[in-house]
Structure 1
């Protein structure tokens, strides 16, 4: 039996098996059936239809893979920055929690503590801009 190289192909393209991404033609025009995912034996589109042509296009440079922004998973850890600059804290993400959704909406959800720490200056500037609109 032959070896399945899809995990290595996914790694080479910079994604993980099952991670969603978009595909661009000529590095500008997005294909319409995304998001796409690399699975064990093919690339699949948003409804799970398999295609080998997209893999060929990615491997030959005809298409470009564009990663989607990181988003926390339900029940998964994420880090966020307190509005007063009081630091970075981890917590579990809950899609039914309006606070978590607000953090996600304003871009204050990070996959690692290091990523959150790096974003502190930008987020604090964003917080100050928001506060200007609500101060009396």
Structure 2
């Protein structure tokens, strides 16, 4: 299922079939999505000469308490676009898209500057519950 974020960017969300039948959704139905876009686990400067690459480590999904949970771990060589040290956020441009990562600690951002090539390891997590008028779509 593809949703639009508040900024208009599309987000692909995996929905476990045991959570709900997305084919039953109609225009105007409520879809509740809670997600932590990505949590930065590691960021090391790289000598990649600006060549970006991405390696997906794995993907899991499961159903629990009427919601699905998807985890996606990614390793990538990317370019630092922006650093917001106050919010502990790192904006990175990779081979397929630009992402904003939340650093799990202040120390992960030490020594990084805009324009650096870095090797990052991060996890994206998405929890999904699909409802229509407050009731689960089955």
- 1 or 2, which has the higher helix percentage? 1
- 1 or 2, which has the higher strand percentage? 2
Greater Cα radius of gyration, structure 1 or 2: 1
Q: Which has the higher contact order (CA 8 A, sep 6+)?
A: 2
Question: What TM-score, normalized by structure 1, do the two folds share?
Answer: 0.26
